[in-house]
Amino acid sequence: MAERIERPEDDFFTERIELFTAQFPTYYRSPQEVLGRVHTSQERYRGTRDEIIPLRERQGTRTYVLMHPYVREPRLTFTVGLYTNPREYADQESAIGETIGTPHVEGFREAQVGNAQAWYYPADKTIVLWECFFEERFRKDPRSISRSL
C-alpha cells in the first residue's frame, strides 16, 4: 500500500524539510523522523524602536520564518460492535460494545510537535530566534523546555 499522508490544504506553508530523527520517550516507543512545514515572508521594518535588538541599518527588509516541526502519525480505524443490552462494570459506566477485528492503518496525518519563529535581517547579517520549542507532550521533562532529547 502506498503511503498516503493527509495534509491540511493551504498555501501558507510553502516548503517541507527533513529535520532530524528523535526519540520522544513520553510519546513514541521508537525513534521518529521529524519534518518541518516552513513559511517565509518578506517584511519591511523602519527604525529601531520596534526591534528587540539594536540594528545598524535603521530600515530595510527582513525575512520572517515560521516552522512547525511534525511527525507522521498513523490514522487508525477500527470497527465497534454495539451490544443490544449494554454491559455494566462496577468501576466504569456501561460498556456499549467492543472492537471487532484488528485496527487498520489508513494513511498518515501530520502531528505538530513544536513551534519555531525567527527573523533574518540580511543587511545586519543577524538572526533573531523568537521561539523554538517542543510541545509539552513531546518533552522528556514537561516542566522544562531547555532540556534536549
**pLDDT tens readout for residues 83-130:** 887 666 666 667 778 888 888 888 888 999 999 999 999 999 999 999
List of E strands, 9-91: 15-22, 32-46, 59-89
Average pLDDT value for residue range 139-149? 53
48 located within any domain: yes
132 located within any domain: yes
SS3 6: strand
**Distance between CA atoms of 63 and 53, rounded to whole angstroms?**
15
Please tell me the total number of residues recorded for the chain in this structure: 149
40 located within any domain: yes
**What pLDDT does residue 146 have?**
46
Mean pLDDT taken over the chain: 82
60 located within any domain: yes
**What pLDDT does residue 45 have?**
87
CB atoms within 10 A of CB 121: 19
12 located within any domain: yes
Expressed as residue numbers, the domain containing 118 is 5-74+107-138
SS3 145: coil
**pLDDT tens readout for residues 27-85:** 777 898 999 999 999 999 886 666 678 888 888 999 999 999 999 988 888 888 888 87
114 located within any domain: yes
144 located within any domain: no
86 located within any domain: no
**What pLDDT does residue 20 have?**
93
Overall domain count for the chain: 1
